Chains A and B, each alone.
Chain A
């Protein structure tokens, strides 16, 4: 149902965007988004862009994931 892959907006005509999903072109309505521009990455649900991907938070998630993984590395190092 939901494309979990963020799709890049390549073209906007009125409130319809052309999006690129891993190389495949589809269209998505921008009616449910406050602001979206060509080049943005969006999450699409049933033909509607519902959220712009927040790059800063994405990096934060990765940092947390790596931190959680490193926590195990530390424990293992402790054990010798």
Chain B
């Protein structure tokens, strides 16, 4: 099998043609939301905003996992890093997110053992290699990441490790879409996240779509994937026929990845989750089942989450729900920048503020 054909995903001529097609067909002014942070970055990097007609505005949604993590959860992570004989293992993005008084990075500089891992299995290996320490993995992410965390818990269970645990701050996408459509902003269509959909499949959005009847297209990440998906959304808008469509069939199927879903469901059950900027969304999170309670850091460390205010002046909440764009935040570029981030949207490589900053987005 060759992958020569993948050139088509970057083909500037195809991209230009798709953009022309969008310009020709789009009449009604409409706002589309890309729900995934990786989409936000691809959209900026490829410059496709500049190819779109004025009728179409693209809003970035709550699809950067670090960005939607509640302030009290960040504070709990920092408290864990202060526990004696404890190694905190995390993906890289999280360590610079400011909590109420510190960040994991600052704790690390002060001597806490915070390790950045590439895979959840690396955290399990850390536990095996450090039997005298407690290793906690910070489980932040959507349905793409949750199965990999579940796999790590199953591996630790199999290896009978008693010094490995996970804080599950995972969030799930479909119910959050419902909350966004009910919000103050009128969203005319959703670009659905490609890699979350790899796991949950197109069918997982059906209840949301049936309830809200908003145009929805699962999109890939290359420039032509995104333009094609926008063209499909425009067709739905102009014909007044909302649909749930898949523009990324080479990776996303209707049923998703059943093995990953079953591993995720073996370890996790649905729970309410607090989203930064949105608040509590019922059943939009994942908690570790009682069966695996020994691996649940919330129980092992007896973590009590106390409500704390989000950073003063930071508009991350409004940015995550599409109500504002970064240049509308008074702190953007003045006080807040990637070297000195005030909120998580400026920290994460997938955060909207960071993307605006890096690619000089002006809206």
Find out whether the CB atom of A32 lies under 8 angstroms from the CB atom of B148. Answer: yes
Cβ contacts A to B, 30 pairs, < 8 Å: A1-B91, A2-B38, A2-B144, A29-B121, A31-B263, A32-B147, A41-B3, A43-B198, A45-B144, A45-B195, A46-B119, A46-B120, A46-B148, A47-B118, A47-B121, A50-B144, A50-B195, A51-B198, A51-B257, A53-B251, A55-B250, A61-B225, A61-B247, A62-B8, A64-B228, A65-B228, A68-B14, A68-B17, A68-B231, A71-B21
- Contact partners of B145 in chain A: CB under 8 A: 45-46
Known pairs A43-B198, A55-B250; list 13 more (Cβ under 8 Å): A32-B257, A33-B257, A43-B251, A45-B145, A45-B148, A50-B144, A50-B198, A51-B251, A55-B1, A60-B249, A61-B220, A66-B8, A71-B21
- Contact partners of B248 in chain A: CB under 8 A: 61
Interface size class of B (residues with CB under 8 A): 35 or more
Find out whether the CB atom of B259 lies under 8 angstroms from the CB atom of A54. Answer: no
Q: Per-residue CB proximity of B14-40 to A under 8 Å, as 1/0? A: 100110110010000000000000100
Give Cα A51 to B255, complex, Å.
Answer: 12
**Is residue A77 within 8 Å, beta carbon to beta carbon, of the partner chain?**
no
Residues of A at the B interface (CB closer than 8 Å) are: 1-2, 4, 6, 29, 31-34, 39, 41, 43, 45-48, 50-51, 53-55, 57-62, 64-66, 68-73, 75
- Contact partners of A69 in chain B: CB under 8 A: 13-14, 17-18, 21
Residues of B at the A interface (CB closer than 8 Å) are: 1, 3, 5-6, 8-9, 11, 13-14, 17-18, 20-21, 24, 38, 91, 118-122, 144-145, 147-148, 151, 195, 198-199, 220-222, 224-225, 228, 231, 247-251, 253, 257-260, 263, 350
Give Cα A67 to B4, complex, Å.
Answer: 18
- Contact partners of A59 in chain B: CB under 8 A: 5
Find out whether the CB atom of B120 lies under 8 angstroms from the CB atom of A47. Answer: yes
Residue of B nearest to A35 (CB): B259
- Contact partners of A58 in chain B: CB under 8 A: 5-6, 250
Residue of B nearest to A39 (CB): B1
Q: Which 10 A-B pairs have the closest CB atoms?
A: A47-B119, A69-B17, A58-B250, A57-B249, A32-B260, A57-B250, A72-B17, A69-B14, A48-B148, A51-B198
Of the candidates A34, A53, A57, A65, which one forms a contact with B258 in the assembled complex, judged by CB atoms under 8 Å apart?
A34
Find out whether the CB atom of B250 lies under 8 angstroms from the CB atom of A54. Answer: yes
Give Cα A31 to B14, complex, Å.
Answer: 37
Given contacts A2-B38, A73-B17, contact A48 B222 (CB under 8 A): no
Chain A, interface SS category: mixed
Find out whether the CB atom of B148 lies under 8 angstroms from the CB atom of A47. Answer: yes
Of the candidates A1, A29, A31, A54, which one forms a contact with B251 in the assembled complex, judged by CB atoms under 8 Å apart?
A54
Give Cα A48 to B148, complex, Å.
Answer: 7
Find out whether the CB atom of A61 lies under 8 angstroms from the CB atom of B17. Answer: no
Give the A-B pair count, Cβ closer than 8 A.
124
Give min CB distance, B85 to chain A, whole Å: 26
Given contacts A41-B3, A62-B5, A72-B17, contact A32 B151 (CB under 8 A): yes
Residue of A nearest to B119 (CB): A47
- Contact partners of B350 in chain A: CB under 8 A: 1
Give Cα A47 to B260, complex, Å.
Answer: 14
Of the candidates A32, A43, A62, A75, which one forms a contact with B24 in the assembled complex, judged by CB atoms under 8 Å apart?
A75
Give Cα A69 to B18, complex, Å.
Answer: 6
Give Cα A30 to B247, complex, Å.
Answer: 26
